[in-house]
Structure formats: structure tokens, C-alpha cells
Amino acid sequence: MRPFELTAPTTVDDALATPGTFLAGGTTLVDLMKLDVLTPEHVLDINQVPLHGIDTSDGLRFGALERMSAIAAHPQVYPAISRALLLSASQQIRNMASIGGNLLQRTRCSYFRDVATPCNKREPGSGCSAIEGANRMHAILGTSDSCVATHASDVAVALVALDARLQLASAEGTREVALRDFYQLPGDTPALENDLRPGELITEVVVPRLDWATNSTYVKVRDRQSYEFALCSAAVALDVRDGKIADARVAAGGVGTVPWHLPAVEDALRGAPATQATFEAAATVAADGARPLSDNGFKVSLLKRTIVRALLELTEGSSR
């Protein structure tokens, strides 16, 4: 790790007035600094900034510094969000990691984290080693000739499915952006991963009120049962009335370069009976546009099966 200057602002205004790299839980930043992937000269420890708290009075509002473990344990947090958090990392990391930092975490692509290999995210124009290299864990949706890295966050998938928005602050003022629009596809500029502007800070995560999101879940398929990133995941919420699906929310992780919203699957579910046959038919469009690589073609069928499994979890035996 290279030398750096550390300061600890105590207000949002102070944090925004000082150029530097923000440090919250540090579970991503510190790792990447140790690897020389990130080499900030000035680090701002923002843990004393008042950006904590969980408000459930109208939908859900999370202060950006609220810890993952606290949100997961809250009884009024929608199950898809709570489950996505509980299936993330380890308890120790969840106790440290902030919700805002989790949404900004960098890819776990091994080539990105290895400064001896080409990576367009880390060094634009150097190439993407994963396209012809080891790519079993990589994306099949939203990829480009410049990058095929998956987005690492579990809870971002649930939040995208549930129409979450981010409150952002900078020295110029505040703005709000839908999380679905916040993340950017790699295209020819994979180093630009999101719409966070220089000097801007996430202050709050807002999930609109959706009463039927109490009927939601998050299913994560991975190589081992704990402390592992997703091969594929699905966040789903269903509004079922008299045996028919009135509304649905579906997003997938582990398969896209961003948390992958699936509006075509949602459209196929709405108005249909809540049966396994419906779920299987809707899931057939989930991988439309996929570009499998040499080692990850299995994710096409895995994505469809994971969505069906999540939908079946919500409807139990009544859908058969």
C-alpha cells in the first residue's frame, strides 16, 4: 500500500469541500489499495458524517453509512433486500460494510485486481484479459468487446428490482437518480461504471413503498454456501390475487455487467396464473441478448432456472 493522507470530516459539507476518496466501511477500498489497484493520495474517512439511520415511515430510506447487518436485521425491510444482504460476504464484513459503499463496490474480476494483467477498467485501452482467459464467473448480459466483468453486489439486484433511488450530494447541490439508471454498461468506456460525478457522495438509498414487496425473495446460486459471489441470482417480488399475478418485479445478478433488470420477464408474468408453467414460460426470455464466453455458457440456462426457483419459493406448492 502506498502512502496517503487521511482526514475525517464530520459533516456532509466538510466531506464535499475536501478533494479525496471517501472511506466508509473500507471493505472494498482498503483491499484495492493493498493491491495497488487504487492509489488515492487523500482518503476521507466519512464514518462520523451523520448519514446513518433507517426510516420506514413511507417506504424505506437508508442512510448511506448504515451498515448492511443493521438493514438486514430490521423487521420492516422487504425480504428480498434482507435476504440479499444476509447472503452477502460474512457477518464480520456485513457489520463493517455500508449500504452506500456496497452499491459502489468494484468488480471481483481477478484480472481487474491483478495489476500485472491488462484490464480496461483499471487501465483504459489495455485490453480485457477475461474475454480469452478464465471467464467462468463473468457476465453474459450487457457485455462489450472491452469488458465482460460482472457487478458484484447482491443487494443492488434486489434494490434495482424494487425501483430504488439514490440521493446524491455535491458542492453544487443535490440530485436523485434511479438505481437502474445509475449503473452504466461498459461499452467502450468500462472504467466509467456509474453516474457518480467527481466529488459527489451518496447520502441516502430510497425504496418506494410497495406493500406487496413483503412477498419477495432473493435466490443466490454459488459454488459454496457462504462467503462466495453469485454465479447467478434472482430478486423477485410478486403481487398475486385470486391465483393470478397482478404485478411483478424481477432482476438478476451474477450474469450482467450491471444488476440486470428483467422487464420482459415481468411483462410475461403480469396477468398470468401463478403456476410453474407460467414461471417457466416467462423465464425463457430472461437471457435474450446473452453473449456467452468460452466457460460461462451454462449461465444461460442457470439464469432461467434460478428465476423459476425464486418464483416458486414465493408461491410455495400452490403454483404446481
Q: Which domains does the chain have, with CATH numbers?
A: 1-45 (3.30.43), 52-207 (3.30.465.10), 211-319 (3.30.390.50)
User: Which cell is 128 given?
Assistant: 480485457
Which residue is associated with the grid cell 440456462?
301
Q: 236, 210 in Cβ contact below 8 A?
A: no
From residue 246, alpha-carbon distances to 118, 211, 237, 260 in Å are 48, 13, 11, 22
| DSSP string covering 117-150 | S-BTTTSTTS-BTTTTS--TTS-SBS--SS--PP
**CA 276, 279, 284, 287 torsion-angle sign:** negative
Contact criterion met (CB below 8 Å) for 63 and 119: no
On whether the CB atoms of residues 47 and 65 are closer than 8 A, the answer is: yes
Cell of 222: 454459488
pLDDT (0 to 100) of residue 125 = 98
Longest dimension (CA), the chain: 63
Closest CA to 112 of 121, 103, 125: 121
Contact at 8 Å (CB) between 87 and 220? Answer: yes
In contact, 87 and 232? CB cutoff 8 Å: no
Rounded-to-integer distance, Cα 175 and Cα 202, Å: 10
Which sign, positive or negative, has the C-alpha torsion 95, 99, 103, 104? negative
Q: 15, 51 in Cβ contact below 8 A?
A: no
pLDDT for position 317 = 54
Return all residues near 39 (Cβ < 8 A) that are at least 6 apart: 2, 4, 33
| Residue from 58, 57, 140, 56 nearest 66 by CA | 56
Give me the torsion for CA of 179, 183, 185, 188, rounded to 10°: 150
54 neighbors 82 (Cβ within 8 angstroms): no
| Under-50 pLDDT residues of the chain | 318-320
Please report the pLDDT score of residue 12 as a whole number.
97
Number of residues in the chain: 320
Q: Which residues contact 219 (CB under 8 A, 6 or more apart)?
A: 233, 234, 236, 306, 309, 310, 313
Q: Give the helix/strand (H/E) hosting 45.
A: strand 42-45
49 and 11 Cβ atoms separated by less than 8 Å? yes
- Predicted confidence at residue 229, as pLDDT, reads 96
